[in-house]
Amino acid sequence: MSTRADGYTLGVEEEYQIVDTETRGMSPRGKNVLRRAREVLGDGVAPEMLVSQIEVMTPICSTLAEVRSEILRLRSGVIEASAAEGSRIAAASTHPFAHWREQELTPKERYEGIVDRFGRLAEQQLSFGFHVHVGLKEREAAVEVLNRLRPWLAPLLALSANSPFWLGEDSGYASYRTQVWGRFPTAGPPAPFASLAEHDALVEALVESGSVPDAAGIYWDARLPQELETVEIRVADVCTKVDEAVMLAGLCRALVRTCRERAEREEPYPNARPELVRAAHFVASRHGLDADLVDVEARRAVPAREMIENLLTFTRPALEEFDDWEEVTSLVGETLRGGNGASRQRRAYRRAGRLEEVVDMLVEETARGTNPA
């Protein structure tokens, strides 16, 4: 990601599964896939903690059309590189049946240090993330945005939930990644901050106390990257469909703008207890869009559709100003009608009765719209 971040720019990071063509399990050929992908995509692709993972990063984008184009370009590049090594690419936040014990750690000092620090917890992180960066230079304003984002993170998770299977079984969760990842001590929704100084003091204390190796080890669902002038929203699962990734990018940018403008007007916001916000995330992780969600501000359960409509109402002025309203609402409507990724994975399994068929569905949806050579 570049450090240029003016004008509510957008950047998206997606972590993919490298899947073996024959077994549909995680592929051990990740090093070769990464090498081939870098020949085409350069710095737009990077290794992840496991050899069987690969991450792509869009350049800074100004419009959702650019985001779509860049995600398609990056997916095309890694799909082509993977195919050359007898592998395929799947975008989802857990693999339906692969086991963490069978994965090879990427030989990198940072990853080795994470395993040394967190032990078995780090070894079990066979999960994949989706991160949206929204450009915002003023750090004090960015803290105000974090405070106001908190009630809206769980609805984003519910829309994106795409990790129902774990170690060959249905976990019972729409986003089991949230539960796996959430065991890290600095994961989950952040508490509110009275000021940038309070935020920075906490980050410094976490690093100086040895709780995390550095500021990059703070994994809040929304955070302020130390070296980027952005608000980074990390709550979502990886989206199999490019449409869903574009939808989430548009919602994230609209949320950041809306929250900043409300802060400038000094409008009050629900200073909800951390326990309630975490409970809202748990409910979204457990059920996705298939049951009630938690309205943090109203302190009650509401139907998922109503909560998503509240999110659209909250962000509508910003979406309209970015000329994103029609596209984002159309994509949200498609997700509400057809289900999120977790629902589609479960339907695929019910049809076929084999998790390998779920992997095939993920591979097909991941590649839709790309044109690998």
Q: Is 179 domain-assigned?
A: yes
Measured torsion, CA atoms of residues 21, 25, 31, 33, in degrees rounded to the nearest 10: 30
* Secondary structure E strands in 210-271: 222-223, 230-233
- Is residue 331 domain-resident? yes
As for how many domains the chain has, the answer is: 1
Tokens for 361, please give them. Answer: 């569905």
Coil, helix or strand for 338? helix
Decide if 104 is inside a domain.
yes
d(CA 51, CA 47): 7
Residue 330 inside a domain? The answer is: yes
Give me the domain span that covers residue 207.
Answer: 10-367
Smallest Cα–Cα separation from 185: which of 209, 150, 223, 211?
211
> Tens-digit pLDDT profile for the chain (373 aa)?
333 334 799 999 999 999 999 999 999 899 999 999 999 999 999 999 999 999 999 999 999 999 999 999 999 999 999 999 999 999 999 999 999 999 999 999 999 999 999 999 999 999 999 999 999 999 999 999 999 999 999 999 999 999 999 999 999 999 999 999 999 999 999 999 999 999 999 999 999 998 898 999 999 999 999 889 999 999 999 999 999 999 999 999 999 999 999 999 999 888 899 999 999 999 999 999 999 999 999 999 999 999 999 999 999 999 999 999 999 999 999 999 999 999 999 999 999 999 999 999 999 999 999 875 5
Q: Tokens in use for 176?
A: 């089991």
pLDDT at 372: 55
Q: What is the CA radius of gyration of the chain?
A: 19
Strands 300-302 and 130-135, by their bridges, are unpaired
Q: How far is Cα 2 from Cα 37, in angstroms, rounded to an integer?
A: 20
Give me 366's structure tokens.
Answer: 């991941």
Domain assignment of residue 3, yes or no: no
pTM equals: 0.96
pLDDT score at 3: 34
- Is 373 domain-assigned? no
d(CA 126, CA 93): 9
Tokens linked to 14? 């997606």
Q: What is the pLDDT of residue 15?
A: 98
- Position 52 in a domain: yes
Whether 59 is covered by a domain: the verdict is yes
CATH number at residue 336: 3.30.590.20
Amino acid letter, 221 = D
